[in-house]
Structures are given as C-alpha cells and as structure tokens.
Chain A
Amino acid sequence: MLDGKVPGGPIESKWNRHIGEMSLVNPANRRKYNVIVVGTGLAGASAAATLGEQGYNVKAFTILDSPRRSHSIAAQGGINAAKNYKNDGDSVHRLFYDTIKGGDYRAREGNVHRLAEVSVNIIDQCVAQGVPFAREYGGLLDTRSFGGAQVARTFYARGQTGQQLLIGAYQSLMRQVDAGSVELHARQEMLDLVLVGGRARGIITRNLVTGELERHMADAVLLCTGGYGNVYYLSTNAGNTNVSAAWRCARRGAYFANPSFAQVHPTCIPETGDYQAKLTLMSESLRNDGRVWVPKKAGDERSPDQIPDAERDYYLERRYPSFGNLVPRDVASRNAKFVCDEGRGVGATGRAVYLDFRDAITRLGQETVAEKYGNLFDMYHHISNEDPYSVPMKIYPAVHYTMGGLWVDYHLQSNIEGLFVLGEANFSDHGANRLGASALMQGLADGYFVVPYTLANYLANTQLGDLSTDAEEFKSAEDVTEKRIRTLLSVDGNKTVQDFHRELGRTMWENVGMARNREGLTQALKDVQGLREEYHQNVKVVGRADNFNKALEFGLRVADYMEFAEVSVRDALAREESCGCHFREEYQTKDGECLRNDEEFSHVSAWEFTGADKEPVMHKEDLTFDFAEVKQRSYK
C-alpha cells in the first residue's frame, strides 16, 4: 500500500503547519545544490525561476527552441483562484470541495486543499509580474464562471490566459538566466533518468541540433514535462507533447498512476481527414449560449436550416433539464458520442453534433453575440470555412488533458527519492476529471509555492555522496540511449512513424476513449502489443543520429507511447467501476450515468514497470475522505 504522506491535523492548517515543520536549506548553502528542471511550461518555468531566485543552481531543459513556446501557451479559458473578489460566497473550502467533487472523488484530499489555499497567491504573483488579466472599468480584476462551479472565480486574459501566464513565468525564468542562477538548455530532450544509489541524480539528454548525447548531474530532478494526451494521436495538445520523459522514469522504477484517465473535451472542431495532425479546441464558454442538437432521425441528411425544431433533439437539455448545455465535460462528451453512435451525427463523417447560436442571435442580436464570442467565431470560420453566424457550428469531443501521471506523495516526490514531478506530468489533484481552469492553477501552485519548500526539505535531510558524470551509472544510461537510437535508425521498414502513431491512436480512442468495456479493452491490449512488436520490425526512420532529425525524435517518442499504451489499457481494465472520464459501460446507472464503486475502487492505481514483455504490477494508494462528503454526482 502506497502512502501519500499527508501530514495530520485539521485540513485547513495541514500545509501551513507542515511548512513550519519542514527543514530548510540555509541561503548561503543553496548555491551548493544543483537542481535539474525538465520542461519549461507553467510548472517547470515557475519552479526553475523560483529555485533560481532562492539561490539554487538550476539547469532547465526544454525540447522547444524557447521556454516561451511550451504547450501551456495554448490554454485559453482561465485560471481559478479562491479570491472571492466577487463577494459571491467563494472560499478556499468551496474551491477544494468543487475540485474533489469534479474529480469524482478520486483525488487526494490533502493535496487538493493545499492547491485551493495557494491559488490566491498565484494571482498576486502573476499580477506583480505584469500579467495583463482582464479588468473591470474600476481597474480591479474581472472574473467569470466556468463549468462545475457556482461562483465566478476564473481569472482570464481574453482567450489567451495560458499565453499570458507562461510569458510571466518565462520572463521570471529569463531574469534568473540573466542573473546566472539558471542555465537554460533549449532544444534538448531528456531521454533517460540516471539513478545512483536508488536516488535520482541526473539525466541523459540529446541535443536536438547536433544529436549529441549529454550527461547532466544534480542533487534532485524535477520533471515538469506535461501530459500524455498524444498517445491518442489526435488531441488538442501541441505536437511535441509526449510521455517519454515520464515513461523513461517509469522504466527506472517510478510508478505511473491512473494512466487510463484522460479528459475528453466536448467542444472541438471535428476531424476532417486522415492528413489531420491535431484537433482544435473551441472554448467551453460557447456552451453558455450555444444549444447542442442532432436530428431526431438517424441518417437525416437535410441541411440544418431545413430541419424544423420538432425534428431536432436538443439532447443535453432533454436529459439534464437543470444543467442543460452546461453539464461538465465528461457528461457532455459522452452524450455526443452516444448520439453519433446511434447514427444521428452530422457532417461529412457523421461524427459531429451541432452547436447552434440561432436562438442566441435572435434573442441577443448578432452584435451582442459577436462581442462575446467574435474571436472564437472567426477562428471557427477560418478553420472550417463555414460561417457560424448563419450555419450552426459542428463540434465533436477530443482528447484534451490527462489526469494520470507519475505517482507523487504530498511533497510531489515520486517513489524514487530525489525525483519530483510537477504540473500535468504528475497524477495530479484532479482525480478522474479536471474542472476547467484548474490545470494552470495546479502547474503554478506546484512550481511557485509547493516544490520550493518540499525540495528544500529533501535536500536538507539527505546525505548525497560526491558524484561525477563519469560514474558507471551515467555511462550505462548513455549507452542504453545510444543503442536505442541506433536500433531505431537501423530497422528501415515500410511504415512511417506517423503511420504507427495514427494506428495506435485509433485503437486507444476507440477502446480507451469516452466509453470503455471489457471486451474492447481486452482486444485493445492485444492490438497494442501487436502494434508494438510490428513497430520495432517495420518502422522506417530516416536520417542520421548526429544532426537535427525530427523523424528520430518522434520515432523514439512513439516507441514509448507503444509501451505506455499497454499500461493505460491495463489500468482501464482493472478499474471495474465508472468514475469521471472513465466510463465503463458495464458499470452505469439505469439512465446511463457513471456508477462508482467506492467500496472497491476508492484508490489511486499506481503501476510499476517490470519489463517490456512482463505484466506491470499495480500498487494502491487508498483514498479516504475525512473532510469532503462523498456523494454521487448528479447534474439532472
């Protein structure tokens, strides 16, 4: 049984009391410590900047050519914080409770409460950095409401909140690079974790420009490498988002928690063809005024304006009269899938539903609608070549965020000592379903306000021996990496990396997507294993190891996805209940909603890798709820 190491005492005071109990590193001693931060999204940039400010020697790594390009940049909607500036009854406790409930009671209470507590400091920090949040005419900060909450606690910067927050963190990071406390390594990919005496002491990276393998040594490694949504091939994630860094740590013994949890966002622009490389998100806010519908009759090919109201099925309004079009993401997504499975989907592929603004335009006027959603309408028009003012939008769910990730304790430390995991890369505070605007909050909480304390505590209490990158552990890790690269380049098969990735994605999407069942998962397990075998015999990766080679980068990542996918399928098979994003068709209420099984599954499943051809071993962390009342979620 895994221990989350949550400190005792009342939930409101756990974190503050614990801060007082943890050991510190004297300011003069901090520069003697080397810390590696892998990833420079919100989690990594905020952590690296803060540790640099505190005087540690930091090395920060990113695949991209600049930290500012990290995937966090794409977040649109906003960031939650329990500021209660609107005086509408928000509080730390309410944010805590909403997050626990939104996650369908599969997150760790202590962590979630801490997240809600530090949320208020994040907004202060960002404003001080110059993040231009939306403001009211009085000059104070504006907020709006988001799914799963009844208060307006979401701070935003037009539709570019992630961009503005990341630029803030990036600038703080560059200030430390300027000050000499952070050494920045852009266009460098971590390809392995180096353990010495069981502790994380370094990484092996590939310089993506020269192809050189490098050894980097440290006293602790912070992994901030984002989520694994691209195992589905098509998702709203950026192209370079990958599971490799986390998976390489898993191969070195770090447990991977809840690897089947993946959030599917209901409002994305549907797939149009095989050539497609990504899916684009349309903000959740559209569901405030857009009405979702499909024709009542299967196979109805009339254009939407030819279908009278009586022959339309506004299925969310029908099934969920009290929440209507504003049900949470998992519920909205699943229902879109159901109606399309019935043959009632629209568009060329039949995998889309209408999001219709006709009534909003009649009620509010086109001008008001344009004022609220103009930029989103333009974006939609631009991508799909249809004018949403006159033709209803076509939308379909797409993979968006991953709640699973490396298992961490209350200190954000994995089961490998010295390996800390932050942001979307850890198994996070979002349980089985994340609420909108909470990922940005978590990434920055981890980086600015949690890990600086817990890392100091680790360093102060750990005797680390002298080490050099000539040590056998570094050499052997580099050899393994070099061999992996050489082998992959020598296969010279008939299918491209993308061919395989697309195939893997399809299997995952169909079987480990919005609805899962034993039969499909059992088949998926075989398919994924078969595909992995074929990959190593029939993939074609061209080019050299010693220069810029994107095909090689992706080739290595897809190889890791193949292994990861198997654990994801196993996790979905093992969890014989439905919760949040994880809808097992065998376990549903009579009206088709998630049926949780708290008796048997109120736990985190953390998987231990035991070999590529061996079954992984599952470890459990029991979840207990002492402060939040556990209920069945209902949005009827």
Chain B
Amino acid sequence: MSENQSYTIRVWRQDDAQAAGKFVDYDVKDVSPDASFLEMLDLVNEDLTRDGGEPIAFDYDCREGICGSCGCVIDGVAHGPLPGTTTCQLYMRNFPPGATITVEPWRASAFPVIKDLVVDRSSMDRIIMAGGYISVSAGSAPDANNIPVPKPEADLAFEAAECIGCGACVAACKNASASLFTGAKIEHLARLPQGQAERARRAQRMVETAEAEGFGACSNEGECEAVCPKEIPTRVIQRMNRDYIRAYLKMI
C-alpha cells in the first residue's frame, strides 16, 4: 500500500438552476490512494460539515459503475482520466500526487443544473418514453424459446443494451448531442426479432424527441464513444440515422 497524498480540488458550486455558479478550491489532505474519487469527496464533505459549510452536492447510488447516477467532468473529461469507467470507479491512485483536480457538472442545455454537480437528466427518460420499448403487456408473452435469436445478434443487442444512461456522451459532445444514448436503444431493440414491429415508429419518435428536448445533432466527432463508460460504439448512431431515414421512406 502506498502513502497517503494531498490534492487540491477545484469544484463547481452552484446553489440552483438560476444561481450563478463559481469554482471553489478545497485542500484535501492525507487521502489514501485506495480511496475512490467519490470517497475523497465524502471526506471533503465531512470536513465541510464539521466546519458548518454546505457539503458539495453530487449524485451517486451504486458506486460500482452500473446505475449511471454519478458523473462529473474531471479535468475537462467526462468521468475523468480512465477510459471505460464511471466517476465512481476512479481511485485516488489514478491522479498524480499533489495534483489540482477540476470538477464540474455535465454541461448541456438539456441538463439544467440542480445544485453543484447535480443535473436534471429527465430529458433522457423522455427519449425512452417516446418509443424506447417493446409494447408487450405482462401475461401476453409467448414461450421464451419460441423465437430463437442467433447468438451473434443477441451479443450485439447486449452490447448496445449495456448503456447506463449516465449522460457522459452528451457532456463530451460539443453539440450536446444525445445520439449515442438514443442510438444505443434503437440498436438494442432493432437487433432483436421482438423489436421489429415498432422499429420505424420508434426511430422516428425517439430522434424527434431528442431534438425537441434540446439535444444537438451529431457531427461525427466520436467524443461520445471515447468517454462512454460502457464503450458503446458509434455504429449505433449509424443505425439510428439509417432507421430514421428508412422510416420516412417507409422502407421498414
């Protein structure tokens, strides 16, 4: 086990959506390299509380990279320096000792700040609402093995279905586009025989909802794939575009 280290964190503090925010510096002393990044923030908050200050607000739940609650821009990169991980999966050993670490919320007009590092991502739920499902009511399903699905197709569907809905793709995109997120759901369901009946309508509605929610258009920068904690490939965006156009041409 290596020695404890000290850091300076420069954190975005903002009272609510209306308030103007600003960066505030905090010294963090004597942190174990085995502490996670969020545990480091916990320590800062404990100290702040003891001093009567308001703790830094940030979202989390699982702390193991699957729920998609956590997420900040760390030193300019969504979810920080390691590829294929969420903010909660970072450890202090991933930062050089003595470093100054800048921590900001996701920035996108479709994600208004609620407080400090917490943003409102309900716009992503509304994209799913607009067709990110297969319409099958409980009790009406046929036997699960009635329709075989070739393993390679099932694996590709799974790869897209791994999306945790964290919003890092939006935060990393200069257009604040939600195309990786939207494409992942369209790809997941379009790969499966069960998803075919609603495929055209799904693509149309989801893409149009994303636009209406204020997410930008995709200009193929690929930043989203680079920060995605599940490393969802940009081919899902091609699928989205293809299905969207073909839906209009009534080809699917």
Check A154 for interface membership: any CB of B closer than 8 A.
Answer: no
Check B93 for interface membership: any CB of A closer than 8 A.
Answer: yes
Q: Which residues of B contact A457 (CB under 8 A)?
A: none
**Is the beta-carbon distance between A171 and B132 smaller than 8 angstroms?**
yes
Give the one of B61, B118, B134, B143 with max A CB within 10 A: B61
Q: Which residues of B contact A138 (CB under 8 A)?
A: 148
Instruction: Say which residue of B91, B158, B165, B194 sits within 8 Å of A66 (CB atoms).
Output: B165
Check A46 for interface membership: any CB of B closer than 8 A.
Answer: yes
Bound-state Cα–Cα, A273 to B48, Å: 20
Q: Which residues of B contact A71 (CB under 8 A)?
A: 61-62, 67
Bound-state Cα–Cα, A134 to B139, Å: 22
Bound-state Cα–Cα, A540 to B36, Å: 25
Q: Which residues of B contact A335 (CB under 8 A)?
A: none
Write the chain A residue with the least CB distance to B40: A275
**Contact bitstring A107-144, B, C-beta under 8 A = 1, else 0:** 00000000000000101111111101111111111000
**Is the beta-carbon distance between A65 and B42 smaller than 8 angstroms?**
no
Check B108 for interface membership: any CB of A closer than 8 A.
Answer: no
Bound-state Cα–Cα, A360 to B188, Å: 35
**Is the beta-carbon distance between A278 and B128 smaller than 8 angstroms?**
no
Give the one of A71, A121, A135, A137 with max B CB within 10 A: A135
Check A592 for interface membership: any CB of B closer than 8 A.
Answer: no
**Is the beta-carbon distance between A278 and B55 smaller than 8 angstroms?**
no
**Is the beta-carbon distance between B138 and A277 smaller than 8 angstroms?**
no
Whether A69 touches B69, Cβ cut-off 8 Å, given contacts A130-B192, A171-B128, A275-B32, is yes
Check B78 for interface membership: any CB of A closer than 8 A.
Answer: no
Q: Which residues of B contact A74 (CB under 8 A)?
A: 62, 64, 66-67
Instruction: Say which residue of A132, A136, A496 sits within 8 Å of B50 (CB atoms).
Output: A496
Q: Which of A157-165, A319-327, A604-612 contacts B (4 or more CB under 8 A)?
A: A157-165
Q: Which residues of B contact A384 (CB under 8 A)?
A: 34
Chain B 144-170 interface residues, beta-carbon cutoff 8 Å to A: 144-145, 147-151, 154-155, 157-158, 161-162, 164-165
Check A348 for interface membership: any CB of B closer than 8 A.
Answer: yes
Q: Which residues of B contact A160 (CB under 8 A)?
A: 66, 162
Bound-state Cα–Cα, A150 to B49, Å: 52
Check B249 for interface membership: any CB of A closer than 8 A.
Answer: no
Q: Which of A188-196, A306-314, A542-550, A567-575 contacts B (4 or more CB under 8 A)?
A: A542-550
Give the one of B36, B38, B60, B136 with max A CB within 10 A: B136
Chain B interface residue count, Cβ-Cβ cutoff 8 angstroms: 82
**Is the beta-carbon distance between A547 and B115 smaller than 8 angstroms?**
yes
**Is the beta-carbon distance between B129 and A178 smaller than 8 angstroms?**
yes
**Is the beta-carbon distance between A69 and B133 smaller than 8 angstroms?**
no
Q: Which residues of B contact A133 (CB under 8 A)?
A: 154
Bound-state Cα–Cα, A499 to B155, Å: 45
Check A300 for interface membership: any CB of B closer than 8 A.
Answer: no
**Is the beta-carbon distance between A542 and B161 smaller than 8 angstroms?**
no
**Is the beta-carbon distance between A64 and B46 smaller than 8 angstroms?**
no
**Contact bitstring A524-560, B, C-beta under 8 A = 1, else 0:** 0000000000000000101100011011000000000
**Is the beta-carbon distance between B39 and A543 smaller than 8 angstroms?**
no
Chain A 45-63 interface residues, beta-carbon cutoff 8 Å to B: 46, 49-50, 53-54
**Is the beta-carbon distance between A542 and B52 smaller than 8 angstroms?**
yes
Bound-state Cα–Cα, A167 to B66, Å: 12
Give the one of A184, A382, A452 with max B CB within 10 A: A382
**Contact bitstring B118-146, A, C-beta under 8 A = 1, else 0:** 10111011001111111111111111110
Instruction: Say which residue of B43, B49, B133, B155 sits within 8 Å of A174 (CB atoms).
Output: B133
Interface of B is mostly: loop
Whether A130 touches B134, Cβ cut-off 8 Å, given contacts A141-B145, A238-B61, is yes
Bound-state Cα–Cα, A135 to B193, Å: 14
Instruction: Say which residue of B42, B66, B122 sits within 8 Å of A275 (CB atoms).
Output: B42
Check A68 for interface membership: any CB of B closer than 8 A.
Answer: yes
Instruction: Say which residue of A124, A158, A542, A547 sits within 8 Å of B144 (CB atoms).
Output: A124
Instruction: Say which residue of B50, B63, B68, B133 sits within 8 Å of A278 (CB atoms).
Output: B63
Whether A277 touches B64, Cβ cut-off 8 Å, given contacts A125-B136, A132-B154, A174-B129, is no
Whether A68 touches B50, Cβ cut-off 8 Å, given contacts A128-B134, A129-B134, is no
Check A296 for interface membership: any CB of B closer than 8 A.
Answer: no
Instruction: Say which residue of B38, B39, B147, B158 sits within 8 Å of A132 (CB atoms).
Output: B158
**Is the beta-carbon distance between B165 and A171 smaller than 8 angstroms?**
no
Q: Which residues of A contact B118 (CB under 8 A)?
A: 548
Chain A 264-280 interface residues, beta-carbon cutoff 8 Å to B: 272-273, 275-278, 280
**Contact bitstring A202-245, B, C-beta under 8 A = 1, else 0:** 00000001000000000000000000000000000011100000
Write the chain B residue with the least CB distance to A237: B62
Whether A542 touches B55, Cβ cut-off 8 Å, given contacts A174-B128, A547-B115, is yes
B39 to A: closest C-beta gap in Å:
5
**Contact bitstring A145-176, B, C-beta under 8 A = 1, else 0:** 00000000000011010011001001110110
Check A517 for interface membership: any CB of B closer than 8 A.
Answer: no
**Contact bitstring B97-118, A, C-beta under 8 A = 1, else 0:** 0000000000000000011001
Bound-state Cα–Cα, A261 to B46, Å: 31
**Contact bitstring B26-39, A, C-beta under 8 A = 1, else 0:** 00000111111011
Check A83 for interface membership: any CB of B closer than 8 A.
Answer: yes
Check A292 for interface membership: any CB of B closer than 8 A.
Answer: no
Check A498 for interface membership: any CB of B closer than 8 A.
Answer: yes
Whether A186 touches B122, Cβ cut-off 8 Å, given contacts A132-B154, A239-B60, is yes
Check B15 for interface membership: any CB of A closer than 8 A.
Answer: yes
Bound-state Cα–Cα, A52 to B190, Å: 25
**Is the beta-carbon distance between A280 and B194 smaller than 8 angstroms?**
no
Check A369 for interface membership: any CB of B closer than 8 A.
Answer: no
A299 to B: closest C-beta gap in Å:
19
Whether A64 touches B128, Cβ cut-off 8 Å, given contacts A172-B133, A273-B34, is no
Q: Which residues of B contact A348 (CB under 8 A)?
A: 1
Q: Which residues of B contact A449 (CB under 8 A)?
A: 138-139
**Is the beta-carbon distance between B62 and A66 smaller than 8 angstroms?**
no
Bound-state Cα–Cα, A124 to B138, Å: 9
26 contacts between A and B (CB under 8 A): A53-B137, A66-B124, A66-B165, A68-B125, A74-B67, A121-B139, A129-B136, A130-B133, A132-B155, A135-B149, A140-B145, A141-B145, A171-B134, A186-B125, A209-B114, A273-B35, A275-B32, A383-B91, A384-B34, A385-B34, A385-B91, A496-B49, A496-B50, A543-B55, A547-B15, A548-B114
Question: CB within 8 Å of B: which residues of A?
Answer: 46, 49-50, 53-54, 64-71, 73-74, 83, 85, 121, 123-130, 132-141, 157-158, 160, 163-164, 167, 170-172, 174-175, 177-178, 184, 186, 209, 238-240, 272-273, 275-278, 280, 348, 382-385, 448-449, 452, 494, 496, 498-499, 540, 542-543, 547-548, 550-551
